[in-house]
């Protein structure tokens, strides 16, 4: 979703406020602030002792920030942030030297037609109150907003939106330039969730990611959800061979990257496939279905032999940024299914250091195994210039025909992308060299003899 601030003509409209507005203003203005950064102005309000809530975009890109209580001229330094959610455009700031009463969260749900009031600092005019009604509840690709008629302007961002009782129902966030009086607020539920994860200490503002890009229109900007990759490292308790390595948002996709590791398996091989993969949002119960995977179906499975590992990917249409707690499920999650329960993205960090080559073309892999039936000695095996291991044992039965994945140090098995390769094996003065071909899901067995 893209919301755009516009550079509006400076106008002052005089509203005749009801007694309700007078009471709301009197009882809440002391809990509101004007925020000043080296990038511009915004609004905010107290939600906990020494903690101010505002929009993420008010702070991003700033190296320092200050706040002014809207019923005082005193200026206070913002130490840093204690929680932030760029996806919903909210941040909690710590100001140790200033402590004002917190606004009360409304208990009733928001309804179209409901009276509301907004306090902010439009165009730098502090403690400005405006009134309006709830025009509707909107959903932009899973991101919910309150549409309202209360006018807001640049500088209003992050200010409280309150009902007729002076209780918080939302946070001013944006105005769409493509229409008249189309103003939006973030529902308080997003703020309540963020409050659950606030830290006790302040994190420097300069650690925030600056995602906005200046547009060609003076005074306006666009802000976007950042492409990002989460480092997961989650394995299945029932199937420890399988790990969920990464989750990545990019372009129109959200992809999950897995590794099936048979390096230390007891079984010679497993066949793996993927059917009916889905993600369940644990917050809303909404289900999203995978659109692609490089694993094939049960009728044409991938074979993973002992001593090897294989990686695969499952992709969805890009998930809404609010999806933070979810389960990944294959079908009804039988004992053979690949299911990961109760994942909370807030517990994982992002990374930019991923070797994506490991996850490419894995659906076109095959296997090669090297072995010997003679007591030759330790044999070092290379594919091209890459050392892949040492044969330290041999199959003593001359009539035995091993299969890929046979155990022990008598066989080395590796997975490779389909193609033709050169191998070299060395044992003292003995040397073997030749080429071999790997076919998709095939297994090529090569042995050494004196």
Tens of pLDDT, residues 262-299: 888 788 888 888 888 988 888 766 778 899 999 888 88
d(CA 162, CA 25): 10
Higher pLDDT, residue 34 or 284? 34
Average pLDDT over residues 185-204: 87
Mean pLDDT, the chain, whole residue set: 85
What band does 106 get if pLDDT is binned at 50, 70 and 90?
very high
Pick the CATH number of 364-448 from 2.40.50.140, 2.60.40.10, 3.40.50.1010, 3.10.20.30: 2.60.40.10
Question: Which whole-number Å values give the CA distances from 226 to 96, 182, 215, 411, in the listed order?
Answer: 31, 25, 17, 47
Q: What percent of the chain has pLDDT over 70?
A: 89
Higher pLDDT, residue 358 or 171? 171
E-state strands within 38-182? 41-48, 51-54, 65-69, 75-77, 80-85, 90-94, 115-120, 128-140, 143-148, 160-162, 168-175
Dihedral (CA of 51, 57, 61, 62) sign: negative
* β pairing state of 302-305 and 269-272: antiparallel
Q: Which residue has the tokens 């119960």?
A: 285
Q: Which residue has the tokens 């309000």?
A: 45
Does 250 score more than 50 pLDDT? yes
* β pairing state of 443-448 and 365-372: parallel
Does 72 score more than 60 pLDDT? yes
Query: pTM of this prediction?
Result: 0.49
Does 214 score more than 70 pLDDT? no
Q: Name the residue ranges covered by the structural domains of the chain.
A: 19-222, 228-360, 364-448
d(CA 378, CA 178): 75
Give the pLDDT score at 6: 34
Give the pLDDT score at 9: 30
Higher pLDDT, residue 260 or 201? 260
Average pLDDT over residues 21-30: 93
Give the pLDDT score at 178: 58
Average pLDDT over residues 50-68: 92
Whether residue 269 contacts residue 303, with contact meaning beta carbons closer than 8 Å, is answered with yes
Give the pLDDT score at 198: 83
d(CA 446, CA 372): 8
Give the pLDDT score at 221: 32
E-state strands within 205-322? 213-214, 221-222, 228-235, 242-250, 253-261, 269-272, 277-281, 287-289, 292-293, 302-305, 309-317
d(CA 10, CA 127): 17
pLDDT digits (tens, 9 = 90+) for 114-144: 999 999 998 889 999 999 999 999 987 667 8
d(CA 348, CA 336): 26
Residue of 70, 61, 59 whose CA lies nearest to 36? 59
What band does 219 get if pLDDT is binned at 50, 70 and 90?
very low
- Is 228-360 the same fold as 19-222? no
Average pLDDT over residues 46-71: 91
Give the pLDDT score at 240: 83
Give the pLDDT score at 407: 64
Would you give the distance in Å from CA 316 to the centre of its chain? 13
Q: Does domain 19-222 have CATH number 3.40.640.10?
A: no
Give the pLDDT score at 313: 95
What band does 180 get if pLDDT is binned at 50, 70 and 90?
low
Does 213 score more than 60 pLDDT? no
Does 386 score more than 70 pLDDT? yes
Give the pLDDT score at 210: 52
Give the pLDDT score at 297: 81
Average pLDDT over residues 298-321: 89
Average pLDDT over residues 36-56: 93
What band does 2 get if pLDDT is binned at 50, 70 and 90?
very low
Weakest-pLDDT range from 152-156, 213-217, 429-433? 213-217
Does 193 score more than 90 pLDDT? no
Q: Does domain 228-360 have CATH number 1.10.3470?
A: no
Does 159 score more than 90 pLDDT? yes
d(CA 42, CA 156): 6
């Amino acid at each position: 979703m893209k919301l755009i601030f516009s550079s509006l003509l400076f106008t002052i409209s005089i509203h005749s406020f009801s007694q309700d507005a007078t009471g709301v203003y009197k009882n809440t203005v002391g809990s509101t602030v004007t925020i000043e950064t080296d990038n511009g102005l915004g609004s905010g309000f107290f939600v906990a002792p020494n903690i101010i809530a505002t929009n993420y975009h008010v702070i991003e890109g700033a190296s320092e920030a200050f706040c002014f209580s809207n019923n005082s001229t005193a200026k206070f330094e913002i130490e840093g942030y204690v929680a932030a959610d760029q996806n919903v455009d909210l941040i909690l700031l710590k100001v140790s030297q200033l402590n004002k009463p917190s606004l009360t969260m409304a208990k009733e749900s928001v309804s179209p037609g409901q009276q509301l009031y907004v306090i902010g600092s439009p165009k730098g005019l502090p403690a400005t109150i405006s009134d309006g009604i709830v025009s509707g509840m909107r959903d932009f690709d899973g991101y919910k907003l309150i549409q309202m008629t209360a006018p807001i302007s640049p500088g209003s961002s992050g200010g409280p939106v309150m009902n007729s009782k002076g209780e918080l129902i939302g946070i001013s966030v944006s105005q769409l330039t493509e229409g008249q009086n189309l103003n939006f607020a973030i529902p308080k539920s997003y703020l309540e969730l963020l409050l659950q994860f606030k830290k006790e200490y302040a994190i420097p503002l300069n650690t925030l990611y600056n995602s906005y890009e200046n547009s060609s229109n003076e005074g306006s900007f666009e802000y976007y959800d950042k492409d990002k990759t989460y480092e997961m490292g989650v394995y299945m308790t029932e199937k420890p061979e399988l790990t969920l390595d990464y989750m990545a948002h990019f372009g129109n996709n959200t992809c999950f990257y897995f590794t099936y590791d048979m390096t230390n398996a007891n079984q010679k091989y497993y066949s793996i496939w993927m059917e009916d993969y889905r993600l369940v949002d644990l917050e809303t119960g909404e289900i999203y279905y995978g659109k692609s995977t490089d694993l094939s179906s049960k009728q044409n499975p991938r074979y993973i032999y002992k001593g090897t590992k294989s990686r695969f990917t499952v992709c969805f249409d890009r998930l809404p940024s609010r999806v933070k707690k979810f389960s990944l499920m294959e079908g009804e999650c039988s004992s053979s299914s690949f299911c990961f329960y109760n994942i909370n993205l807030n517990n994982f960090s992002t990374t930019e250091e991923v070797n994506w080559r490991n996850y490419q073309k894995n659906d076109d892999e095959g296997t090669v195994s090297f072995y010997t039936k003679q007591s030759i000695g330790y044999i070092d095996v290379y594919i091209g210039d890459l050392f892949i291991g040492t044969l330290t044992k041999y199959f003593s039965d001359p009539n035995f025909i091993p299969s890929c994945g046979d155990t022990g140090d008598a066989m080395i098995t590796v997975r490779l992308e389909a193609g033709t390769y050169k191998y070299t094996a060395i044992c003292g003065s003995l040397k073997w060299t030749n080429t071999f071909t790997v076919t998709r899901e095939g297994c090529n067995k090569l042995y050494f003899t004196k």
